[in-house]
Amino acid sequence: MIRAAILGGSGYTGGELLRLLHFHPQVELTQITSREQAGRYVHIAHPNMRGVSSLKFVHPDGLRECDLLFLALPHGTAARDIERFAGLAPKLIDLSADFRLDCAADYETFYGEPHPAPRWLYRFVYGLPEVNREALIGANYVSGVGCNATAVNLALLPLVEAGILERAACEIKVGSSEAGNKSSPGSHHPIRSGAVRSYKATGHRHMAEARLVLGDDLPLHFSVTAIEMVRGIHLLAHCYLRQPKAERDIWRLYRARYKDEPFLRLASGKVGLHRLPEPRVVAGSNYCDIGFELDEDGTHLVVVAALDNLGKGAAGSAVQAMNLMFELDETTGLEFPGVYP
């Protein structure tokens, strides 16, 4: 049994970890921390766990040693105290952006400050199983993934690996939970409700992760737009191919790349309402749905992807990585298909 703890458990990602780990058959969740909620039952912050979990939040200073420590802290926090955290557990999964990149210079470029612990960058494995499965098996230190970057990477990876993608431009629509559980002027309900607000038209910091996975040579652009949705990411990527392809060629490419991936589903049907991926279909799950439509000229491919930013884009991928770290079946505790409608 894996004795796991969550540091920073009162936020949305911490709550999703709590839900997933509570039902994981190989995990005993021993502690979950919060400065503000210390001493209170977890259902005060995560009401879906009422009558399910009897855990109480503890103060971070009271955190005890465990087998695996999840760091669900604000960006920039984990790196400043990584030596202490590494002393509490032999295995760490950091869900912030602190250890996602393997280059300190890139971190400073995209996050606007020098990395607090640059020598630790090279110890962490980027936690996207569809890319780094072999490196994750038995790993001690794993980084979380950026939710927007994960949508881009999974949508475009087969095209990049096949060498047929010339350039791509992505529009990413996101729900309000991506901004976290702390209020801000942009998340104030009268401002957020009904909004279609492109808050990062260029230069999103998740671009660094896309370059990490897809390479620096690909001309890639993406914009992020907030819409009236709580959880979920919808990506629409205009992909321009090097030579004309038939639809069957694209099907074969994606099927070949993802046929053995347990949480990648292809959705590009000819009939029915849900012919292309939708975020609400994957809400609460660790699935990423991918579909496409090919223009008549055969060189303009529109790829659509949907995932839950708190699931496959954060806590779900972290638990999948955990399974690999401990050499378990990577689907363990993640079989939930989501709810519909």
Residue 293 lies in a domain: yes
- In this structure, the dihedral spanned by the alpha carbons of residues 275, 276, 278 and 281, taken in order and rounded to 10 degrees, is 50
* Percentage of the chain exceeding pLDDT 70: 100
Residues 105 and 158 in one domain: no
Q: Which of 134-138, 264-268, 310-314 has the lowest mean pLDDT?
A: 264-268
Consecutive H or E run containing 142: strand 141-143
Q: Are residues 36 and 106 in the same domain?
A: yes
Whether residue 162 is contained in a domain is answered as yes
3-state secondary structure of 113: coil
Q: Do 165 and 299 meet the contact criterion of CB atoms below 8 Å apart? A: no
Specify the amino acid at residue 139.
A
Closest CA to 92 of 135, 35, 25, 144: 144
Distance CA 179, CA 187 (A): 8
What pLDDT does 340 receive? 87
Structure-token match 């060498």, residue found: 163
pLDDT tens sequence across 146-175: 999 999 999 999 999 999 999 999 999 999
Q: Does the CA dihedral 310-315-318-319 come out positive or negative?
A: negative
Lowest-confidence segment of 94-98, 104-108, 122-126, 252-256 by average pLDDT: 104-108
Give pLDDT, residue 218.
95
Answer yes or no: is 182 within a domain: yes
Residue 113 sits in the same domain as residue 192: no
Would 128 be classed as within a structural domain?
no
pLDDT of residue 191: 81
pLDDT digits (tens, 9 = 90+) for 183-234: 778 777 888 888 898 888 898 889 999 999 999 999 999 999 999 999 999 9
Q: What is the pLDDT of residue 195?
A: 83
- For the stretch 291-315, pLDDT in tens is 999 999 999 999 999 999 999 999 9
Tokens read off for 137: 């098996």
| Upper half-sphere CA count for residue 190 (Cβ side, 13 Å) | 0
**Could you list the residue range(s) of the whole structural domain that residue 247 is in?**
147-309
What is the CATH number for 62?
3.40.50.720
The residues carrying an active-site annotation are 147
Gap between the Cα atoms of 46 and 15, Å rounded:
6
Tell me: do 190 and 256 sit in the same domain.
yes
Pick from 318, 323, 333, 328: nearest CA to 70: 318
Q: Which of 40-44, 131-135, 195-199 has the lowest mean pLDDT?
A: 195-199
CA distance 151 to 267: 15
- The tens digit of pLDDT for each residue in 241-263 reads 999 999 999 999 999 999 999 99
User: 298 and 160 in one domain?
Assistant: yes
Would you list the DSSP string of 236-285? EEEEEESS---HHHHHHHHHHHHTT-TTEEE---SSSS-SS--HHHHTTS
Mean residue pLDDT across the chain: 95
The answer to whether residue 290 scores a pLDDT higher than 80 is: yes
Q: For 17-37, give one letter per residue: b (16+ CB within 10 A) or e.
A: bbbbbbebeebebbbbbbeeb
In a domain, 69, yes or no: yes
CA distance 126 to 20: 21
pLDDT digits (tens, 9 = 90+) for 54-88: 999 999 999 999 999 999 999 999 999 999 999 99
Identify whether 315 is part of a domain. Answer: no
Provide the residue type at 204 as one letter. Answer: H
Confidence (pLDDT) at 57: 98
Answer yes or no: is pLDDT of 272 > 80: no
CA atoms of 50 and 137, how far apart (whole Å): 34
Based on the domain organization, do 304 and 185 belong to the same domain?
Answer: yes
Tell me if 19 sits within 8 A of 47, measured CB to CB.
Answer: no
Residue 133 lies in a domain: no
Q: At what angle do helices 247-258 and 147-162 cross, to 10 degrees?
A: 120
Q: Are residues 160 and 61 in the same domain?
A: no
Q: How many domains does the chain have?
A: 2
Give the global pTM.
Answer: 0.95
325 pLDDT above the threshold of 80: yes
Domain assignment present for residue 141? The answer is no
Whether the pLDDT of residue 329 is over 90: the answer is yes
More confident residue, 180 or 284: 284
Closest to 287 (Cα-Cα) out of 278, 296, 295, 275: 278
Tell me, yes or no, whether 16 and 92 share the same domain: yes
Give start and end residues of each alpha helix (H) in the chain.
12-22, 82-88, 104-111, 129-136, 147-162, 189-192, 207-214, 247-258, 279-282, 316-325
